[in-house]
């Protein structure tokens, strides 16, 4: 079963630390990522650029879509990154979240929806070719 660990916390702070401090902080993330890979849990994971680089597209099916600057919600805490992990159950996923080296904020743990249970045939599972990276 797949779980999304969403990293949520205050934005910023990296601009106020030295390159040596950045390198030291990244060691924690590297160790955590390596641990998830070695355990066979890692599926995907990435950090995100600051919210000022974001765009939000709103509107429902059949409606004109509206594009705005910024994240989907104005809050003090923002999504900073994610891990997509394969775990046997929610308890295992929560265990990974507890070990996540986030320094402030929290980690939301949420099961990924099993579309097959609703009769959906995932094109990626059917051998569709992924779009090339640009």
- Mean pLDDT within 85-111: 95
Instruction: Give the SS3 label for residue 125.
Output: coil
Instruction: State mean pLDDT over 50-65.
Output: 89
pLDDT confidence tier of residue 132, bands split at 50, 70 and 90: low
Domains of the chain: which residue ranges? 2-57+64-109
pTM of the model: 0.81
User: What's the chain's average pLDDT?
Assistant: 88
Residue 127 in this model has a pLDDT that exceeds 70: no
Question: Is domain 2-57+64-109 classified as CATH 3.30.70.1060?
Answer: yes
The H or E element spanning position 93 is helix 90-99
CA torsion sign, 129 to 45 to 40 to 37?
positive
Please give the average per-residue pLDDT across 120-133, as a whole number. Answer: 66
Provide the 8-state DSSP code for 119: T
Q: How far, in Å, CA of 4 to CA of 51, rounded?
A: 20
Q: What is the mean pLDDT of residues 54-79?
A: 85
For residues 27, 31, 33 and 37, what is the CA-based torsion angle, rounded to 10 degrees? 150
In angstroms, the Cα distances linking 26 to 31, 73, 102, 117 are 9, 27, 11, 39
State pLDDT tens for residues 25-47.
999 999 999 999 999 999 999 99
pLDDT value at 133 more than 70: no
């Amino acid at each position: 079963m797949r779980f999304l660990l969403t990293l949520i916390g205050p934005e910023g702070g990296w601009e106020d630390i030295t390159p040596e401090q950045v390198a030291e902080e990244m060691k924690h993330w590297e160790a955590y990522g390596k641990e998830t890979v070695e355990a066979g849990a890692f599926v995907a994971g990435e950090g995100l650029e600051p919210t000022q680089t974001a765009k939000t597209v709103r509107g429902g099916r059949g409606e004109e879509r509206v594009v705005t600057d910024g994240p989907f919600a104005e809050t003090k805490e923002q999504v900073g990154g994610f891990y997509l992990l394969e775990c046997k159950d929610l308890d295992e996923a929560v265990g990974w979240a507890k070990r996540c080296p986030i320094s402030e904020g929290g980690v939301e743990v949420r099961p990924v929806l099993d579309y097959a249970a609703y009769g959906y045939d995932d094109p990626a599972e059917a051998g569709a070719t992924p779009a090339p990276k640009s």
